[in-house]
Amino acid sequence: MRFPVLCGFACLVGLLVVRATAAVPEPLTLKLWPEGVPSAMKPKSEATTKLIQSFGGAQPGRVTDVTEPTIMVFKPEQPNGTAVIVAPGGGFMFLSYAHEGTQVCEWLNSLGVTAVLLKYRTPTRDEAEMFALPVQDAQRAMGLVRQRAAEWKLDQRRVGLLGFSAGGNLAGHAAWDRTPRTYPQQAGVDDPRGPDFLIFIYGGGFLDASDKSKFRPGFSVPADAAPAFFLVAHDDKSNPIEAAMLYLEYKRQNLSAELHICAKGGHGFGMRKGGQPIHDWPARCGEWMKSMGWLTAK
């Protein structure tokens, strides 16, 4: 007589497992340029190949030789209307796809944020400007997210961009540059807007190569720059100088910004845990997003 009871219990457990699995849908992958990329990448030079090898070459959690850029959309169980496009770092040689990518998306989902992992073209170190093609990819990604906003239960005015290291550089260019788009625009997808907010994690590349007390020629923070969250370690070469200078430009123009410089942490820590205050940066960033109203459901 116990068999029906056991069967009922087993069925209940099975149902709960199915429901738990259904609550975490597989990420949706979309090509950014289904008709072909607008600008061809230069072939990888021997110097770039050797440089990539000097950083350890192919490794688990690392992606390179990206010629077909995509976005991967991680949807939370209860979306609050905010989306963040995540741009991993990797020196424009490769993408640190795990601790600066998928793990970041999982954290954003825990906040109710729809996370969009950007797999941008790389390596681009042989281009005249290493960031140019990745910025095209980020711009198209923002357009696609806004185009699909209603379908994905998003607010078109709450699309942020989060970048690490080289990903921070491309995010900064996408947020601050006011030059025309460098690719043919598609009606209904591309628009001139940048991100609605910026999360700049140990990013760089905006200082003059010969004088780190100045920005690179032609660069300035625009008067309508999106709110920004800057985070970097004091022992990360020149990047804390850069973050401080960018923050001061925001302050000078009375633009909204928050700056965190922790004593220790180095470069490239991403979502790794290391026992230092800087490794709790997701909590600080989440607090900032909450204070700005981006975690309130809409």
**Confidence at residue 191, expressed as pLDDT on a 0 to 100 scale:** 82
The token pair at 3 is 């068999």
- Residue 121: C-alpha distances to residues 96, 179, 254 (Å): 13, 20, 35
Residue type, 202: Y
Q: Which residues lie across from 228 on neighbouring strands? A: 198, 257
Per the DSSP assignment, residues forming a β-bridge with 74 are 115
Is residue 11 one of the residues assigned to a domain? no
Q: How far is Cα 175 from Cα 48, in angstroms, rounded to an integer? A: 28
256 occurs within a structural domain? yes
CB atoms within 10 A of CB 48: 17
Q: What is the CATH number of the domain that holds 42?
A: 3.40.50.1820
The pLDDT assigned to 23 comes to 54
Range of the domain at 67: 23-291
Residue 2 within a domain: no
Instruction: Provide the pLDDT for residue 16.
Output: 45
pTM of the full structure: 0.91
Tokens 């496009």 belong to residue = 85
257-262 and 95-96 beta bridge pairing: unpaired
Q: Return the pLDDT at 278.
A: 97
pLDDT at position 2 is 44
Report residue 77 as tokens.
């169980």
Return the structure tokens found at 126. 């042989």
For residue 173, which of 210, 124, 211 has the smallest C-alpha distance?
Answer: 124
Instruction: Name the residue with tokens 């290391």.
Output: 274
Side-chain-side CA neighbours of 73 within 13 Å: the count stands at: 22
Q: Is there a domain that residue 15 lies in? A: no
Cite the beta strand spans of the chain per DSSP E. Answer: 28-31, 62-63, 70-74, 83-87, 95-96, 114-119, 159-164, 197-201, 228-233, 257-262
Q: Would you say residue 260 lies in a domain? A: yes
Q: Which of 55, 30, 82, 66 is nearest to 294 (CA)?
A: 82
| Helices and strands, counts by H and E, the chain | 7, 10
CA atoms within 13 Å, Cβ hemisphere of 10: 6
DSSP string, 68-130: S-EEEEE--SS--S-EEEEE--STTT-EETIIIIIHHHHHHHHTTPEEEEEE--B--TTSSST
**Would you write out the chain's pLDDT as a tens digit for each of its 298 residues?**
444 444 444 444 454 444 444 455 789 999 999 999 999 999 999 999 999 999 999 899 999 999 999 999 999 999 999 999 999 999 999 999 999 999 999 999 999 999 999 999 999 999 999 999 999 999 999 999 999 999 999 999 999 999 999 999 999 999 999 988 999 888 889 888 999 999 999 999 999 999 989 999 999 999 999 999 999 999 999 999 999 999 999 999 999 999 999 999 999 999 998 899 999 999 999 999 999 999 999 7
Whole-number pLDDT of residue 145: 97
Q: Is residue 137 part of a domain?
A: yes
Q: Rounded distance, CA 133 to CA 69, Å? A: 10
Q: Contact at 8 Å (CB) between 121 and 70?
A: no
Closest CA to 242 of 277, 282, 214, 220: 214
Look at the chain and report how many structural domains it folds into: 1
In a domain, 158, yes or no: yes
pLDDT score recorded for residue 24: 59
Residue 50 located in a structural domain: yes
